[in-house]
């Protein structure tokens, strides 16, 4: 999926859209997506000016956006004004290595289970095949 297709599924827009491309996905199973990390990101001017590092919370948000794409593709529904995709839990988050400008963040998310609209995922972010962040995410889609 390119950025135009992603925009049909996710309601996020600049500066919070954190998925640039979907490399591969298998509905109901997993997704691999890409975030190009640029020095032009608005958060780098303050985090940190002398040593720019992508905030960990935004890495987790990028993983959640990849999870949302996987769920929405699995359910075959696009971006709708009457629904929203929410975090309901984040467990076991670990940050292994800083993400810096110029990195390509590879987002790997797999569905562990879905029960009554509650989705649980294992998620990991990598740069150059090295783990930078891992977490268990729980999300749901709700009517507005």
Active site residues: 47
Question: Would you say 127 and 97 are in contact if contact means Cβ atoms under 8 Å apart?
Answer: yes
Residues 6+ apart with CB under 8 A from 26: none
Residues 30, 44: Cα–Cα separation, whole Å: 30
Q: What is the token pair recorded at 123?
A: 């998620």
Residues 10, 8: Cα–Cα separation, whole Å: 6
């Amino acid at each position: 999926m390119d950025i135009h297709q992603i925009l049909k599924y996710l309601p996020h827009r600049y500066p919070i859209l954190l998925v640039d491309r979907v490399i591969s996905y298998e509905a109901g199973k997993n997704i691999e997506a890409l975030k190009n990390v640029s020095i032009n990101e608005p958060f780098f001017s303050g985090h940190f000016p002398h040593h720019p590092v992508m905030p960990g919370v935004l890495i987790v948000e990028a993983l959640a956006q990849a999870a949302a794409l996987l769920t929405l593709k699995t359910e075959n529904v696009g971006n709708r004004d009457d629904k929203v995709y929410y975090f309901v839990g984040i467990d076991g988050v670990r940050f292994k290595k800083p993400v810096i400008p110029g990195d390509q963040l590879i987002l790997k998310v797999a569905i562990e289970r879905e029960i009554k609209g509650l989705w649980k995922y294992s998620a990991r972010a990598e740069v150059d095949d090295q783990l930078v962040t891992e977490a268990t995410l729980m999300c749901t889609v709700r009517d507005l």
